Chain A
Amino acid sequence: MIEVKGLVKDYGALRAVNGVSFTVRRGDVLGFLGPNGAGKSTTMKMITGFLRPTAGSALVNGHDVTAEPVVVKRLVGYLPENAPAYPEMTVGEFLGFIAEIRGFRTVELSRPRIEHVIDLCHLGPVRRQSIETLSKGYKQRVGFAQALLHDPPVLVLDEPTDGLDPNQKHEVRSIIKQMAAEKTVILSTHILEEVEAICTRVIIISRGQVVVDDTLDGLRARHAGARLDEIFRQLTQTDT
């Protein structure tokens, strides 16, 4: 469960996130939408404890991220935007490092976890390749594998299907859908079909503020007959 209360983030004079509040429960897959620069990534960075909020708080399973950052970081699997990873490491070495940091200290413990995510994300063919030589899609998959490695109860995914081919997009969506029942998931995306395919709830933010927080059906009911992209355009028009 993620509870966000009045989050604010200032970058110098720019207020990137301006009083965002929402709650995501277990079993929810929250689609986090908004135009470029709306503050989606910034909000996620605060929830995962990378950025310190200027004001407000974020709680993950009841733990405040500012007060107990390490507890929250244990609970969360996070795929940052652009899936950063150490370029000189091979995929196998990198996942091994993540496993150790995640507390799987012996080979017996880490092996099954690593094999599991390598299978899940189809990384077999590149496991001995260094990350800097991977194509964008494979790099993205390494980031996804890294986020899933410790089977976290909470997943925060910043554009998880960015750069993936259609088959992989489909695959990632079905992985998320399968896990959704016992996890709390928040994912940002620009692909509206993705929202319709896997999300149970939608939040649209614009200029750092929440403009919509509703279920997918609720959103459709409010704008009878309109397609999701039309609704999105209507609500965020002022930005473009």
Chain B
Amino acid sequence: MSQIPPLFKREFLGYFRSPVAYVFLVVFLMASVGCAFFLGGFFRNEIAGLDSYFQFLPWLFIPFISAVGMRLWSEEKRAGTIELLFTLPVTTLEAVLGKFLAAWAFLCLAILLSFPMVLTVAYLGDPDWGVLASSYLGSMLMAGGFLGVCSLTSAFTKNQVVSFVLSVFVCFLLVLLGWSVFTDFLGGYLALPAWLVDVVSNFSFKTHFDAFAKGIIDPKDVMFFLSLAGFCLFLNVLVLDR
């Protein structure tokens, strides 16, 4: 595991050596804050909280985290640097973790850059700090879950477009399963038994994230995101080791 720090450092700084970081951070911020203002009614609903920001994150994460994740392994394969990386004295697990953690740290940075909204809320009203903290924690954990999936899909192909489309599709499914419109459809229109609907929606990012957004930090939800990321990374190692 001692090789993770140099890998992490190279990967994390790599975002800032190319336009990727700047384009991503600016556009993500515009999109997430824009959604909060125009769709979520940040000012209109006169609540001292960031619900209007967090409620759109699961949907926004689908394209944005797929965009970060698609390059993780596809780019190494395309550029041939994977041959360099895997003939350096690192294990596959170290390489997978180093890259994943760097991308995750980058995503956490993107999420935390919304802190001016926190300041605004604190200035205008009296927010529930517990709910804010758990929402941020939940977003970061959810980002880790998404990223695990995207890292895995990008290990399958050297084509970044294929990797992106695959990631978006899988992540979309994982969000959709817990969307109330979809679960209502399952329970009402298809008349599936309630327990089955619960089982299905239990696989969704959204179901587990919604608890955080309400201020509930349930170990089950934390475990969901961590074990999902862990499981994907485990498969990721297997795929690369083939």
Contacts and interface: CB of A to CB of B under 8 A. Distances in A.
Contacts of B86: 49-50
15 contacts: A49-B86, A52-B242, A73-B89, A74-B89, A78-B87, A80-B80, A80-B84, A85-B81, A85-B84, A86-B14, A86-B79, A89-B10, A89-B17, A100-B5, A101-B88
B97 to A, nearest CB: 14
A87 interface: yes
B6 A100 contact: yes
Interface string A54-90: 0000000000000001100110101010101111110
Contacts of A80: 80, 83-84, 87
B85 to A, nearest CB: 9
Interface residues of A, number: 28
Given A45-B83, A80-B80, A97-B6, A88 B89 contact: no
Interface residues of B, number: 21
A101 B87 contact: no
Interface of A: 45, 48-50, 52, 69-70, 73-74, 76, 78, 80, 82, 84-89, 93, 97-98, 100-103, 130, 146
A98 B88 contact: yes
Contacts of B10: 86, 89, 97
A88 B14 contact: yes
Nearest to A86: B81
Interface string B59-79: 000000000000000000001
Contacts of B227: none
A74 B18 CA distance: 30
Contact of B17 (A73, A88, A100, A101): A88
Interface in B80-117: 80-81, 83-84, 86-91
A50 B2 CA distance: 21
Contacts of A97: 6, 9-10
Nearest to A48: B87
Q: Which of B10, B79, B90, B91 has the most CB of A within 10 A?
A: B10
Contacts of A103: 89
Contact of A102 (B17, B18, B89): B89
A88 B80 CA distance: 14
Given A45-B83, A82-B80, A86-B10, A73 B88 contact: yes
Interface string B1-31: 0010111011000100110000000000000
Nearest to A71: B89
A101 B87 CA distance: 11
Contacts of A76: 87
Given A93-B17, A100-B9, A103-B89, 17 more contacts: A50-B86, A52-B242, A70-B91, A73-B89, A80-B80, A82-B80, A84-B79, A84-B80, A85-B81, A88-B18, A89-B10, A97-B6, A97-B9, A101-B3, A101-B88, A102-B88, A102-B89
A50 B82 CA distance: 9
B84 to A, nearest CB: 5
Contacts of A87: 79
Contacts of B83: 45, 50, 80, 84
B14 to A, nearest CB: 6
Nearest to A150: B89
A88 B14 CA distance: 7
Contacts of B6: 97, 100-101
